[in-house]
Every structure is written in C-alpha cells, then in structure tokens.
Amino acid sequence: MAIYLDHAATTPVRREVVDAMLPYLLEHWGNPSSGHSFGRAARAGLDEAHERLATALGGEAREIVLTSGGTEANNLALKGAAWAGKARGHRIVTSAIEHHAVGHTLRYLEKFGFETVELPVDRYGRVDPDELEAALDDRTIIVSVMLANNEVGTIQPIAEIAARVHRHRGIVLHVDAVQAAPYLPIDVAALDVDLLSIAAHKFEGPKGVGALFIRHGTHLLGQQQGGAQERHRRAGTEDVASAVGMAVAYDLTRAAQPETGARLTGLRDRLRDAVLAVPGVELTGHPRDRLPGILSIIARDTDGVSVSQALDLEGFAVATGSACTTGSPEPSHVLAAMGYPDEEARGALRISLGRTTTPAEIEAAAVAIPRSLAMLRMGSAAIAADPLGQGLTPGVAAGA
C-alpha cells in the first residue's frame, strides 16, 4: 500500500472539483472574451470563479487576477510592483527563507538596478518585525514575506509586519500564501496585505492555475502583453475550467479547515513524537506557530535523500524539502538561514499531511520512518568508525 505524505508538494484533485470543471471542458468551452452565447456561457463561469475566490479571501472580484500558478502570481506581484514603483525607489525587502519563486525573481530584478535586502530569521525561521521595520527607508517600494514556509512550516507574524510596513507611505506588501492556503484561513483585510499569491494544486485543485490578489489602488505593471484579459493585468485567454476548479476547491478547503486543522495537528504530533524518539533527530521550524500539516526534521549523521529513497521503497512518499529544489545538490537555503550547517541540513526530511491522510497511515509511518532513520544512522556511524571497511570479513571490503 502506497502512503502519500508529501501534500506540501501537491495534492490529489477532489472529485467535486473535477465534476465542477467538466461542464467547462465539454459544454461551455467557448472563449470568455467572445460576445456570442458560447463566450457568454464561459464568461459566466469565469466571473463566478472571480467572485468565489474574492469572497473566500475577503476581497473583491476586481482584485483577483488569475495566473498559471503560484510561481507566476509571485512573479507578477514582484515584477509588476517593482516596475510600477521604479520612479519612487528601487529597494525591495524580503526574508532569507522565501520560496525560489520569490528569491529568484528578486535576483532577476537586481539585473535591472533593483536592490534586494534579505532579512535574517531566527532558529525557528521567523522574521523579527523590529528588524524588518529598521530595514525600511524612503527608497523601499516592496516588502515580500511569506505567510508560512513551505519547508519547515513556520508561520510569520504577517499582521504585525503589515502594521510596520504601512507606517511608511507608498510601500507595497506582498505575501506568498501558496503553502499556507490549504491550512490557514486567509483574510486579506485582516492581514492588511496589498498583494497575495495562492496556487490551486496545493488545496486539491488542478495544477497550472493560481491567483494573485491585488488590493484596489495598488499600482502594478502587467508582465504579459497581448490582450485585455484580467482587467489588462494578465493577457491571454483564461482557462475557465481550471479557474472554476480552483474556486470550488478553495471553498471546500475553507469550509473544512477548522476540523481538518485540528485533526492534522493531532496526527502530526503523534508522528512527531515517534520520529523524535530516534536519537539525533531534531524538529525544525517553530514548535507551535507552524502549519498543522507539516512535520520537518533533521536527522544528524544521515542523508535525507537516502532516507526518502528508503521510505519510497517501503511505499511512503516523503520529501527532503521543497519539490522545486528536488535534485539540487545544494542544502536547503531555508535551513542555512536558520543556522544549520550544511552537514546537518543534508539530513533534512519533510513529512506533510493533507485532508486525505488517515490515522492508519500515520500509525504505519510512525513505525516505518523511525526504523529507517535509525537504520541509516547506524550505517553512517559504522562507516564513520571504519571508513576503509577493515572491520569487515575478508573479501567484503573489496566487494567480493
């Protein structure tokens, strides 16, 4: 039996979401920009998707821009706000643990004269609002801090950060909420953010669609030219079926969050206790202010890739960090920013639960994961103690 414990990477699409999408794939397949009946039927679904997403986020339909996912939403937010604000300043303040969709976008903007200030985080991965405010000056045009980290699950004090940012006139606050959206209720008014990104596939919606909330009055320069779609902010014929699916998925997710969050917290803590019982294993991220579905650890004297591969052979899908960095030889930039040396960061493992995770799956994982960790740590210790294999029986060290 295969057990999926990598919901932070992506989630299965709900049957209700597929059912909501099908009419826009098979019947109402017109171009929503067309004026005839086929186009009007598609436009009705698209308008409803905008309305539902806006209501769920606490905004207005005109403040929602559909994108191809969280990466594009982050790109549009940062590039659009940067170029729109270039006449006022060129400084962008962010944290050292942002997703690469933010970090790499800022590196790109630096090629055009923008300056990036990366704030440090504490051992738990949290930004200090006082340090953030101290980094703001009259050249600052954007602050970008994620709501919750995708690797360690730490939740940032966004409302407090927003209060500091908005003491300074003209600074736009962007929040990457892609990983937080499945687990936390999001109210853009309560958070007091100007830009906020989400992606459907993180909350049991289709891949390839996301949304950017743009507070009315926030200046943003469109980054994709061609047509007048999305109120001139994102050109291109909209994927109506995926937009409808995202809206339905988010409504279902929001409705279940209180129950799901409480249940996943209990399951996560059960697994946490079993895993931390293995010597040399340490919890990463904030012990309390963290997403209910993410358990992140470091297993010293072992390699997270080896652990994940061993577990895969046993039928358990877990990750070593962000899915966007899988295959990278470099240790996690998140753990490095949190103060973990490379040799420890290589022992990282991320186990992420979702709505469909069951107690039986967690009980099975609570046996398999500690066993794999303990066995691999014992193997690493044996190699360290006898690197040349001199303690092996004759012929074994030579591979006979």
CA angle 28, 32, 34 (to 5 degrees): 105
Residue 214's pLDDT band (boundaries 50, 70, 90)? very high
65 pLDDT exceeds 50?
Answer: yes
Residue 93 CA to residue 135 CA, distance in Å, equals: 7
List pLDDT tens digits, range 165-178.
Answer: 999 999 999 999 99
Residue 289 CA to residue 285 CA, distance in Å, equals: 9
Can you read off the two tokens belonging to residue 185? 């209720």
394 pLDDT exceeds 60?
Answer: no
Catalytic residue, from 22, 324, 336, 374: name it.
324
Residue 359 CA to residue 312 CA, distance in Å, equals: 19
The per-residue pLDDT for 397 is 35
The per-residue pLDDT for 395 is 40
The strand pair at 3-4 and 316-317 is best described as parallel
Residue 148 contacts residue 184 (beta carbons within 8 Å): yes
Terminus-to-terminus CA distance in the chain, angstroms?
A: 35
Can you read off the two tokens belonging to residue 13? 């699409």
The per-residue pLDDT for 399 is 37
321 pLDDT exceeds 80?
Answer: no
If we measure between CA atoms, which residue out of 171, 175, 270 comes closest to residue 218? 171
CATH superfamily of 257-383: Aspartate Aminotransferase, domain 1 (3.90.1150.10)
Residue 11 contacts residue 256 (beta carbons within 8 Å): no
Q: 91-100, 107-116, 311-320, 323-332: which has the minimum mean pLDDT? A: 323-332
Average pLDDT over residues 209-237: 96
Average pLDDT value for the chain: 93
Residue 297's pLDDT band (boundaries 50, 70, 90)? very high
Q: Domain spans of the chain?
A: 15-252, 257-383
Question: If one looks up domain 15-252 in CATH, what number appears?
Answer: 3.40.640.10
List pLDDT tens digits, range 227-252.
Answer: 999 999 999 999 999 999 999 999 99
378 pLDDT exceeds 90?
Answer: no
1 pLDDT exceeds 90?
Answer: no
Please name the residues in contact with 212: beta carbons below 8 A apart, sequence gap of 6 or more: 64, 65, 67, 73, 76, 77, 195, 196, 197
Residue 330's pLDDT band (boundaries 50, 70, 90)? confident
Residue 157 contacts residue 129 (beta carbons within 8 Å): yes
Q: Is 324 a catalytic residue?
A: yes
The per-residue pLDDT for 331 is 83
Longest dimension (CA), the chain: 82
Residue 234 CA to residue 224 CA, distance in Å, equals: 6
